[in-house]
Chain A
């Protein structure tokens, strides 16, 4: 008797736990003191810096920041599991169709930097040459005045917002070469470029600057006739550096309460100064 009683009790216990776990969270969302942000990996550091500064000014507010990628953030926004979504690309039409009343806030500029191994003699590339390298049309460094060796192409995974931006603006919507190695994050790209003499990769400006002299940042020419431009805050802002993009925060509807205050804070002079400290480029 005892054993079956125990088993039944255990079963009921399990059920109770399951039920209480699956009860929908009743944290007041959006307008409450608890705000969740999810999305672009590029924006995680920036967003965390903003959240920390914001919570210092508003000790009663709780802001949680997680990464996962732009698409993950937007899906979470659509599914109602996050209040704000960070995205390093604009929303796609099929995503917009699910949340037609969405609001978009461009909060900073991000600049994509082309990095080479420091031993590579090449210092500048044109946009056209970059496209040829990444589509696999040119496979050897000699075509660009480098050493006679195959190019090691490094890209981010296709799930990355950076990948899609690069494909659209640098490759002119053509496909990446099948030879490109797809790495799961920006740091592995830096690691591989610093270890592989023949590698080329692309990462956000912040990652390239942090890597210091382990990688070489390439200056980019819009076309063969124009000047080579190094990526800096100045050149991104005056649009002479060609590979830069806005970073967005999305909400499903007009934000209210702390979510609103947080976005306002990001766009305030103080927030934009924090963006500079995180090696992003202020948008205002």
Chain B
């Protein structure tokens, strides 16, 4: 009798621990929504579809989110295009091809890279990477979307490597042995058997990496120049959504329409990451059927 009660209590505790994250997500949506609501009420959602983000003005404030959206898009897209192949291929090498000695050297460095604070990476971007890009492309300024994207890739790569490597290593030995026994070469085994078998873990790794790229603030704030202009040219300055929130939230008058607009940007950012996670899960489910 007593043991059943105890079981129930423990079960309840575990359940509440597990559902805390759901509760937190719902609460975050609720509270951010509450702060964002005055904007929708006073200006309407239509005010967002505008190419001018001029939150502080004596003439006419406008809160067009389009330049911020394209800014985030350009930076995120380039960062992903660089980080995903680089991260996944590194994970394949470390887990399948590298000798134990090589692995012992590589792993700590990758973990070290994951631990570098983003301000420090941003500082590196300002002092080292920016000037290199400036000279390389013959620009007048190194504060570009590309500089930001490269830094973000640098930050996402260790995340992707670490998690993808775990996924690849957890593929049962029997799969690989069977493949080799059937006459497949080592490379064929890696790319036709091991990597597909670890696919769900690799997708999880990529999703987390992308999440880090979209959500990253400090480094992009320091190196992208933050000019709110619609452009798809990676060699121009862009302003991302995260940088906008970080740069403007500190000073904005509490309860003003600008304050509310920043929360709208926050919600859009949240919806984008939310959507991406959903797509990743859908992709996973579809793949698992086979």
Contact = CB atoms under 8 A, between A and B. Distances in A.
A181 B253 contact: no
Given A1-B6, A3-B10, A192-B141, A182 B54 contact: no
Contacts of A75: 253-254
A152 interface: yes
B74 interface: no
Interface residues of A, number: 44
B251 A95 contact: no
Nearest to B14: A7
A94 B250 CA distance: 17
Contacts of B225: 181-183
B102 interface: no
Interface string A143-159: 00000011010000111
A229 B228 CA distance: 33
Given A152-B140, A195-B142, A196-B140, A181 B57 contact: no
A213 interface: no
Interface in B193-239: 221-222, 225-229, 237, 239
Nearest to A158: B56
Nearest to B236: A179
B58 A70 contact: no
B100 to A, nearest CB: 38
Interface in B240-257: 247-248, 250-254, 256
Contact of A195 (B54, B131, B229, B247): B131
B242 to A, nearest CB: 13
Nearest to A79: B254
Interface in A73-97: 75, 78, 92, 94-95
A196 B226 CA distance: 16
Given A69-B251, A175-B54, A181-B141, A195 B226 contact: no
19 contacts: A71-B251, A71-B253, A92-B253, A157-B247, A158-B56, A159-B252, A167-B56, A167-B58, A175-B58, A175-B59, A178-B229, A179-B227, A181-B143, A182-B225, A182-B227, A182-B228, A184-B222, A188-B126, A195-B141
Interface of A: 1, 3-4, 7, 68-72, 75, 78, 92, 94-95, 149-150, 152, 157-160, 163-164, 167-168, 173-176, 178-184, 188, 191-192, 195-199
Interface of B: 6, 9-10, 13, 52, 54-60, 67, 126, 130-131, 134, 140-143, 221-222, 225-229, 237, 239, 247-248, 250-254, 256
Given A3-B10, A184-B226, A191-B126, 19 more contacts: A7-B10, A69-B251, A94-B253, A94-B256, A158-B251, A159-B250, A175-B57, A175-B60, A178-B228, A181-B141, A181-B226, A182-B225, A182-B239, A183-B225, A184-B222, A188-B222, A196-B140, A196-B141, A197-B140
